[in-house]
Protein backbone atom coordinates (compact mmCIF):
# COMPACT_ATOMS: atom_id res chain seq x y z
CA UNK A 1 0.00 0.00 0.00
CA UNK A 2 1.31 3.45 -0.87
CA UNK A 3 2.02 6.15 1.69
CA UNK A 4 -0.76 8.53 2.68
CA UNK A 5 -1.69 10.94 5.45
CA UNK A 6 -5.14 11.93 6.71
CA UNK A 7 -6.15 14.48 9.34
CA UNK A 8 -8.94 13.04 11.49
CA UNK A 9 -9.49 15.78 14.07
CA UNK A 10 -8.35 19.31 14.86
CA UNK A 11 -8.16 21.07 18.21
CA UNK A 12 -10.38 24.15 18.07
CA UNK A 13 -8.15 26.25 20.36
CA UNK A 14 -4.79 25.55 18.69
CA UNK A 15 -3.38 24.35 15.37
CA UNK A 16 -3.01 20.80 16.72
CA UNK A 17 -4.26 17.94 14.59
CA UNK A 18 -4.80 14.24 15.07
CA UNK A 19 -4.20 12.06 12.06
CA UNK A 20 -3.03 8.78 10.64
CA UNK A 21 -0.07 7.88 8.45
CA UNK A 22 -0.67 4.88 6.22
CA UNK A 23 2.43 2.84 5.37
CA UNK A 24 2.97 -0.54 3.81
CA UNK A 25 3.52 -1.94 7.29
CA UNK A 26 0.45 -0.48 8.88
CA UNK A 27 -1.06 2.70 10.25
CA UNK A 28 0.68 5.20 12.52
CA UNK A 29 -1.48 7.42 14.69
CA UNK A 30 -0.27 11.00 14.93
CA UNK A 31 1.03 13.00 16.69
CA UNK A 32 3.66 10.30 17.18
CA UNK A 33 6.93 10.04 19.07
CA UNK A 34 9.56 7.81 17.47
CA UNK A 35 12.17 6.26 19.79
CA UNK A 36 15.70 6.46 18.43
CA UNK A 37 17.27 3.12 17.50
CA UNK A 38 20.63 4.43 16.31
CA UNK A 39 22.37 1.21 15.34
CA UNK A 40 19.27 -0.86 14.67
CA UNK A 41 18.35 -1.07 18.35
CA UNK A 42 16.73 1.21 20.88
CA UNK A 43 19.42 1.11 23.55
CA UNK A 44 18.65 -1.32 26.40
CA UNK A 45 15.39 -2.43 24.76
CA UNK A 46 14.87 -5.79 23.05
CA UNK A 47 12.21 -5.77 20.35
CA UNK A 48 9.79 -7.69 22.59
CA UNK A 49 9.74 -4.77 25.03
CA UNK A 50 9.17 -2.27 22.22
CA UNK A 51 6.23 -4.35 21.01
CA UNK A 52 4.87 -4.57 24.55
CA UNK A 53 5.02 -0.78 24.75
CA UNK A 54 3.01 -0.64 21.50
CA UNK A 55 5.61 1.54 19.82
CA UNK A 56 4.31 2.38 16.35
CA UNK A 57 7.55 3.32 14.58
CA UNK A 58 11.23 3.61 15.43
CA UNK A 59 14.04 5.64 13.93
CA UNK A 60 17.33 4.12 12.74
CA UNK A 61 20.53 5.88 11.77
CA UNK A 62 21.87 5.55 8.23
CA UNK A 63 25.37 6.78 9.09
CA UNK A 64 25.92 4.26 11.88
CA UNK A 65 24.40 1.33 9.98
CA UNK A 66 26.50 2.18 6.92
CA UNK A 67 29.69 1.97 9.01
CA UNK A 68 28.58 -1.07 11.03
CA UNK A 69 27.45 -3.70 10.14
CA UNK A 70 27.50 -2.28 6.61
CA UNK A 71 25.34 -2.47 3.51
CA UNK A 72 26.37 -5.99 2.49
CA UNK A 73 25.33 -7.58 5.78
CA UNK A 74 21.91 -5.92 5.91
CA UNK A 75 21.17 -6.46 2.21
CA UNK A 76 22.11 -10.15 2.41
CA UNK A 77 19.53 -10.62 5.17
CA UNK A 78 16.67 -8.99 3.31
CA UNK A 79 16.79 -5.47 4.72
CA UNK A 80 16.68 -3.78 8.08
CA UNK A 81 13.30 -5.12 9.21
CA UNK A 82 14.38 -8.74 8.86
CA UNK A 83 17.84 -8.01 10.24
CA UNK A 84 16.29 -6.46 13.36
CA UNK A 85 13.30 -8.81 13.55
CA UNK A 86 10.99 -5.78 13.62
CA UNK A 87 7.75 -5.88 11.63
CA UNK A 88 6.47 -2.39 12.33
CA UNK A 89 7.42 0.78 10.44
CA UNK A 90 10.93 2.25 10.51
CA UNK A 91 12.14 5.74 9.60
CA UNK A 92 15.78 6.19 8.61
CA UNK A 93 17.55 9.51 8.62
CA UNK A 94 19.94 10.29 5.78
CA UNK A 95 23.16 10.29 7.79
CA UNK A 96 23.62 13.99 7.15
CA UNK A 97 23.39 15.12 10.75
CA UNK A 98 26.03 12.65 11.93
CA UNK A 99 28.38 13.38 9.03
CA UNK A 100 28.19 17.11 9.60
CA UNK A 101 28.54 16.82 13.37
CA UNK A 102 32.15 15.62 12.89
CA UNK A 103 33.33 18.99 11.64
CA UNK A 104 37.04 18.14 11.87
CA UNK A 105 36.56 14.85 10.05
CA UNK A 106 34.72 15.91 6.88
CA UNK A 107 35.02 17.97 3.69
CA UNK A 108 31.98 19.36 1.85
CA UNK A 109 31.74 19.69 -1.92
CA UNK A 110 28.78 20.14 -4.25
CA UNK A 111 28.91 16.41 -4.98
CA UNK A 112 28.66 15.36 -1.34
CA UNK A 113 30.70 14.92 1.80
CA UNK A 114 34.04 13.20 2.34
CA UNK A 115 34.30 12.06 5.95
CA UNK A 116 36.28 9.85 8.27
CA UNK A 117 34.68 7.08 10.29
CA UNK A 118 34.53 7.83 14.00
CA UNK A 119 35.16 4.10 14.52
CA UNK A 120 38.49 3.56 12.77
CA UNK A 121 39.34 6.72 10.87
CA UNK A 122 38.69 5.15 7.46
CA UNK A 123 37.66 7.51 4.65
CA UNK A 124 34.16 7.45 3.15
CA UNK A 125 32.04 9.54 0.79
CA UNK A 126 28.31 10.28 0.99
CA UNK A 127 26.47 11.89 -1.89
CA UNK A 128 22.71 12.50 -1.97
CA UNK A 129 22.40 9.61 -4.42
CA UNK A 130 24.41 7.23 -2.24
CA UNK A 131 22.43 8.13 0.87
CA UNK A 132 19.14 7.39 -0.90
CA UNK A 133 20.50 4.19 -2.42
CA UNK A 134 21.60 2.90 0.98
CA UNK A 135 18.31 3.87 2.59
CA UNK A 136 16.50 1.98 -0.16
CA UNK A 137 18.68 -1.03 0.63
CA UNK A 138 17.76 -0.71 4.29
CA UNK A 139 14.11 -0.79 3.25
CA UNK A 140 12.71 1.67 5.77
CA UNK A 141 9.13 2.84 5.34
CA UNK A 142 10.02 6.53 5.58
CA UNK A 143 13.41 7.85 4.47
CA UNK A 144 14.95 11.31 4.59
CA UNK A 145 16.69 13.41 1.96
CA UNK A 146 20.43 14.02 2.40
CA UNK A 147 20.91 17.55 3.69
CA UNK A 148 23.60 19.76 5.14
CA UNK A 149 22.88 20.34 8.81
CA UNK A 150 23.81 23.98 9.34
CA UNK A 151 25.66 24.61 12.62
CA UNK A 152 24.73 27.27 15.16
CA UNK A 153 25.76 30.04 15.45
CA UNK A 154 26.19 30.88 11.77
CA UNK A 155 26.05 34.01 9.63
CA UNK A 156 23.07 34.58 7.35
CA UNK A 157 25.34 34.34 4.31
CA UNK A 158 26.71 30.96 5.40
CA UNK A 159 23.23 29.74 6.31
CA UNK A 160 21.94 30.71 2.86
CA UNK A 161 24.77 28.90 1.07
CA UNK A 162 24.13 25.81 3.19
CA UNK A 163 20.37 25.93 2.64
CA UNK A 164 20.69 26.34 -1.13
CA UNK A 165 23.08 23.39 -1.30
CA UNK A 166 20.60 21.28 0.66
CA UNK A 167 17.83 22.28 -1.75
CA UNK A 168 19.94 21.24 -4.75
CA UNK A 169 20.61 17.96 -2.98
CA UNK A 170 16.87 17.62 -2.31
CA UNK A 171 16.16 17.55 -6.03
CA UNK A 172 18.93 15.00 -6.57
CA UNK A 173 17.45 12.80 -3.84
CA UNK A 174 13.99 12.99 -5.42
CA UNK A 175 15.41 12.24 -8.88
CA UNK A 176 17.18 9.05 -7.79
CA UNK A 177 14.51 7.70 -5.42
CA UNK A 178 12.64 4.90 -7.17
CA UNK A 179 11.02 2.78 -4.45
CA UNK A 180 7.26 3.45 -4.39
CA UNK A 181 7.00 1.53 -1.12
CA UNK A 182 9.02 4.20 0.68
CA UNK A 183 8.03 7.78 1.45
CA UNK A 184 10.90 10.23 0.91
CA UNK A 185 10.60 13.32 3.13
CA UNK A 186 12.15 16.71 2.42
CA UNK A 187 13.97 18.66 5.14
CA UNK A 188 13.67 22.42 5.69
CA UNK A 189 16.90 24.22 6.47
CA UNK A 190 17.85 27.87 6.91
CA UNK A 191 19.13 27.96 10.49
CA UNK A 192 17.45 30.70 12.58
CA UNK A 193 16.61 32.96 9.63
CA UNK A 194 12.90 32.99 8.83
CA UNK A 195 13.32 34.23 5.27
CA UNK A 196 15.73 31.38 4.50
CA UNK A 197 13.34 28.88 6.09
CA UNK A 198 10.51 30.22 3.94
CA UNK A 199 12.62 29.95 0.79
CA UNK A 200 13.58 26.40 1.71
CA UNK A 201 9.92 25.50 2.22
CA UNK A 202 8.96 26.95 -1.16
CA UNK A 203 11.62 24.91 -2.94
CA UNK A 204 10.65 21.69 -1.16
CA UNK A 205 6.99 22.23 -2.07
CA UNK A 206 8.01 22.66 -5.71
CA UNK A 207 9.85 19.33 -5.57
CA UNK A 208 6.69 17.86 -3.99
CA UNK A 209 7.79 15.51 -1.23
CA UNK A 210 5.01 13.52 0.50
CA UNK A 211 6.17 14.76 3.91
CA UNK A 212 8.21 17.64 5.28
CA UNK A 213 10.64 17.81 8.19
CA UNK A 214 12.02 20.75 10.10
CA UNK A 215 15.76 20.14 10.42
CA UNK A 216 18.53 22.15 12.01
CA UNK A 217 16.84 22.63 15.37
CA UNK A 218 18.15 21.57 18.80
CA UNK A 219 21.70 22.41 17.69
CA UNK A 220 22.32 25.09 20.31
CA UNK A 221 19.88 27.83 19.32
CA UNK A 222 17.74 29.44 22.07
CA UNK A 223 14.57 27.48 22.66
CA UNK A 224 12.32 30.52 22.34
CA UNK A 225 13.84 31.27 18.95
CA UNK A 226 13.09 27.72 17.81
CA UNK A 227 9.52 28.12 19.08
CA UNK A 228 9.09 31.41 17.20
CA UNK A 229 10.31 29.93 13.92
CA UNK A 230 8.07 26.87 14.19
CA UNK A 231 5.08 29.08 15.00
CA UNK A 232 5.75 31.31 11.98
CA UNK A 233 6.33 28.39 9.62
CA UNK A 234 3.17 26.51 10.56
CA UNK A 235 0.91 28.83 8.58
CA UNK A 236 3.06 28.36 5.48
CA UNK A 237 3.33 24.56 5.49
CA UNK A 238 0.95 22.41 3.42
CA UNK A 239 -2.03 21.17 5.40
CA UNK A 240 -2.22 17.82 3.62
CA UNK A 241 1.29 16.57 4.43
CA UNK A 242 2.80 15.24 7.67
CA UNK A 243 5.19 17.56 9.49
CA UNK A 244 8.18 16.14 11.32
CA UNK A 245 10.26 18.14 13.83
CA UNK A 246 13.62 16.38 14.00
CA UNK A 247 15.45 15.92 17.31
CA UNK A 248 12.75 17.39 19.58
CA UNK A 249 12.45 17.03 22.55
CA UNK A 250 11.22 17.57 26.10
CA UNK A 251 7.58 17.03 27.11
CA UNK A 252 7.00 20.79 26.87
CA UNK A 253 8.72 20.91 23.47
CA UNK A 254 6.40 18.19 22.20
CA UNK A 255 3.31 19.92 23.53
CA UNK A 256 4.32 23.26 22.01
CA UNK A 257 5.08 21.74 18.62
CA UNK A 258 1.85 19.75 18.59
CA UNK A 259 -0.04 22.99 19.27
CA UNK A 260 1.63 24.39 16.15
CA UNK A 261 0.30 21.54 14.00
CA UNK A 262 3.37 19.29 14.01
CA UNK A 263 2.86 15.54 13.71
CA UNK A 264 6.09 13.56 14.17
CA UNK A 265 8.98 13.72 16.63
CA UNK A 266 12.13 11.86 17.57
CA UNK A 267 14.63 12.46 20.35
CA UNK A 268 17.21 10.52 22.36
CA UNK A 269 16.13 12.32 25.54
CA UNK A 270 13.93 9.64 27.15
CA UNK A 271 16.41 6.81 26.50
CA UNK A 272 19.61 8.75 27.21
CA UNK A 273 18.17 10.27 30.37
CA UNK A 274 17.07 6.82 31.49
CA UNK A 275 20.61 5.46 31.22
CA UNK A 276 21.82 8.48 33.20
CA UNK A 277 19.25 7.94 35.94
CA UNK A 278 16.84 10.79 35.11
CA UNK A 279 13.25 9.57 34.95
CA UNK A 280 10.09 11.30 33.77
CA UNK A 281 7.02 11.14 36.02
CA UNK A 282 3.62 12.78 36.30
CA UNK A 283 5.06 15.17 38.93
CA UNK A 284 8.25 16.10 37.08
CA UNK A 285 11.69 14.59 36.60
CA UNK A 286 13.30 12.35 39.21
CA UNK A 287 17.04 11.77 39.55
CA UNK A 288 16.95 8.30 40.97
CA UNK A 289 20.50 8.35 42.40
CA UNK A 290 19.54 11.04 44.93
CA UNK A 291 19.89 9.91 48.53
CA UNK A 292 16.29 10.80 49.34
CA UNK A 293 15.17 7.66 47.48
CA UNK A 294 17.39 5.24 49.41
CA UNK A 295 14.56 4.13 51.73
CA UNK A 296 11.64 5.14 49.49
CA UNK A 297 9.39 2.09 49.15
CA UNK A 298 6.87 3.80 46.91
CA UNK A 299 6.57 3.26 43.16
CA UNK A 300 8.52 5.46 40.79
CA UNK A 301 5.26 7.11 39.68
CA UNK A 302 2.03 6.10 41.46
CA UNK A 303 0.02 7.28 38.45
CA UNK A 304 1.97 5.20 35.92
CA UNK A 305 0.76 1.77 34.81
CA UNK A 306 4.03 0.50 33.32
CA UNK A 307 5.51 -2.77 34.59
CA UNK A 308 8.33 -0.91 36.37
CA UNK A 309 6.02 1.25 38.43
CA UNK A 310 3.70 -1.65 39.18
CA UNK A 311 6.48 -3.86 40.55
CA UNK A 312 9.57 -2.00 41.76
CA UNK A 313 10.19 0.62 44.43
CA UNK A 314 12.21 3.79 44.09
CA UNK A 315 14.60 2.37 46.67
CA UNK A 316 15.27 -0.71 44.55
CA UNK A 317 15.63 1.28 41.34
CA UNK A 318 18.13 3.57 43.08
CA UNK A 319 20.08 0.54 44.32
CA UNK A 320 20.28 -0.89 40.79
CA UNK A 321 21.45 2.42 39.33
CA UNK A 322 24.13 3.29 41.90
CA UNK A 323 25.37 -0.32 41.75
CA UNK A 324 25.85 -0.07 38.00
CA UNK A 325 23.56 -3.01 37.29
CA UNK A 326 22.70 -3.49 33.61
CA UNK A 327 19.04 -4.02 34.42
CA UNK A 328 18.86 -0.43 35.71
CA UNK A 329 19.18 0.86 32.15
CA UNK A 330 16.54 -1.60 30.96
CA UNK A 331 13.96 -0.71 33.60
CA UNK A 332 14.64 3.02 33.45
CA UNK A 333 14.39 3.06 29.65
CA UNK A 334 11.19 1.04 29.67
CA UNK A 335 9.59 3.50 32.07
CA UNK A 336 10.71 6.63 30.23
CA UNK A 337 9.49 5.30 26.89
CA UNK A 338 6.17 4.37 28.48
CA UNK A 339 5.92 7.91 29.84
CA UNK A 340 6.51 9.45 26.40
CA UNK A 341 4.13 7.10 24.63
CA UNK A 342 1.47 7.65 27.27
CA UNK A 343 1.93 11.40 26.84
CA UNK A 344 1.43 11.11 23.08
CA UNK A 345 -1.70 9.04 23.64
CA UNK A 346 -3.07 11.70 25.96
CA UNK A 347 -2.21 14.37 23.39
CA UNK A 348 -4.11 12.56 20.64
CA UNK A 349 -7.10 12.10 22.92
CA UNK A 350 -6.98 15.74 24.03
CA UNK A 351 -6.99 16.95 20.42
CA UNK A 352 -10.12 14.94 19.72
CA UNK A 353 -11.75 16.39 22.86
CA UNK A 354 -10.51 19.98 22.29
CA UNK A 355 -8.72 19.92 25.65
CA UNK A 356 -5.05 20.13 24.65
CA UNK A 357 -4.45 23.46 26.42
CA UNK A 358 -5.61 21.92 29.70
CA UNK A 359 -3.20 19.01 29.26
CA UNK A 360 -0.38 21.42 28.49
CA UNK A 361 -1.20 23.44 31.61
CA UNK A 362 -0.71 20.38 33.80
CA UNK A 363 2.66 19.53 32.28
CA UNK A 364 3.82 23.13 32.38
CA UNK A 365 3.29 23.15 36.14
CA UNK A 366 5.36 19.99 36.60
CA UNK A 367 8.11 20.57 34.03
CA UNK A 368 8.51 24.34 33.68
CA UNK A 369 11.64 24.55 35.85
CA UNK A 370 13.40 21.52 34.39
CA UNK A 371 12.17 21.57 30.80
pLDDT in tens, 266-276: 999 999 999 99
Domain boundary among 245, 267, 289: 267
Put the strands of the sheet holding 264-266 in their side by side order: 32-34, 264-266, 243-245, 211-214, 183-188, 142-144, 90-92, 58-60, 36-37
pLDDT in tens, 124-162: 999 999 999 999 999 999 999 999 999 999 999 999 999
Q: Are residues 245 and 288 located together in one domain of the fold?
A: no
pLDDT of residue 245: 99
pLDDT in tens, 244-261: 999 999 999 999 999 999
Q: Is the dihedral of CA 281, 20, 59, 192 positive or negative?
A: negative
Domain boundary among 236, 267, 298: 267
Q: Are residues 189 and 338 located together in one domain of the fold?
A: no
Q: Are residues 114 and 139 located together in one domain of the fold?
A: yes
pLDDT in tens, 187-242: 999 999 999 999 999 999 999 999 999 999 999 999 999 999 999 999 999 999 99
Neighbours of 227 (CB within 10 A): 16
Pairing of strands 32-34, 4-10: unpaired
> In which domain, by residue range, is 292 found?
269-371
Specify the DSSP class assigned to residue 293. G
Active site residues: 93, 266
Q: Are residues 237 and 353 located together in one domain of the fold?
A: no
Helix (H, G, I), strand (E, B) or coil at 299: strand
Residue 1 has pLDDT above 70, yes or no: no
Residue 290 has pLDDT above 90, yes or no: yes
pLDDT of residue 229: 98
Q: Are residues 226 and 357 located together in one domain of the fold?
A: no
Asked if residues 279 and 335 have their Cβ atoms less than 8 Å apart, the reply is yes
Euclidean distance between CA atoms 251 and 189, whole angstroms = 24
pLDDT in tens, 40-79: 999 999 999 999 999 999 999 999 999 999 999 999 999 9
Residue 332 has pLDDT above 50, yes or no: yes
> Helix H segments across the chain?
47-52, 62-67, 71-76, 80-84, 96-101, 128-138, 156-176, 194-207, 223-234, 251-259, 269-275, 307-311, 314-322, 326-352, 356-367
Bigger pLDDT: 370 vs 84: 84
pLDDT of residue 368: 77
Give the containing element (helix H, strand E) for 212: strand 211-214
Q: Are residues 263 and 275 located together in one domain of the fold?
A: no
Q: How many domains does the chain have?
A: 2
Which pLDDT band holds residue 105 (cuts at 50, 70, 90)? low
Q: Are residues 110 and 44 located together in one domain of the fold?
A: yes
Arithmetic mean of pLDDT, 347-359: 97
Find the angle CA(345)-CA(36)-CA(77) to the nearest 5 degrees: 115
Range in 85-99, 131-145, 208-222, 326-340 with the lowest mean pLDDT:
85-99
Q: Are residues 160 and 46 located together in one domain of the fold?
A: yes
25: domain CATH number is 3.20.20.105
Q: Are residues 254 and 289 located together in one domain of the fold?
A: no
Residue 370 has pLDDT above 60, yes or no: no
pLDDT of residue 371: 43
Euclidean distance between CA atoms 348 and 9, whole angstroms = 9
pLDDT in tens, 5-45: 999 999 999 999 999 999 999 999 999 999 999 999 999 99
Domain boundary among 267, 294, 312: 267
Q: CA–CA distance from 368 to each of 95, 208, 243, 346, 363 (Å)?
A: 33, 38, 25, 19, 8
Q: Are residues 219 and 325 located together in one domain of the fold?
A: no
Instruction: Share the mean pLDDT of the chain.
Output: 96
Residue 183 has pLDDT above 80, yes or no: yes
Q: Are residues 257 and 314 located together in one domain of the fold?
A: no
Which pLDDT band holds residue 302 (cuts at 50, 70, 90)? very high
Neighbours of 61 (CB within 10 A): 19
Q: Are residues 178 and 198 located together in one domain of the fold?
A: yes
Amino acid sequence: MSFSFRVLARDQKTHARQGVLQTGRGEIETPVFMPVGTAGTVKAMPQEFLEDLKIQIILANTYHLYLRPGEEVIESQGGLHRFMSWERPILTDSGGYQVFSHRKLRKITEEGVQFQSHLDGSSHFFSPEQSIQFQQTLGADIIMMFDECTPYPVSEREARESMLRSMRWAQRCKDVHNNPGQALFGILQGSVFLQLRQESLERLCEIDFPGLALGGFSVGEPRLLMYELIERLENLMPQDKPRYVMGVGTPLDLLFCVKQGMDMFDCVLPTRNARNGTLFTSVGKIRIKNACYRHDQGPLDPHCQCLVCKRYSRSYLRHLFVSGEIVASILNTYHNLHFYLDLMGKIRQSIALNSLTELEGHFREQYAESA
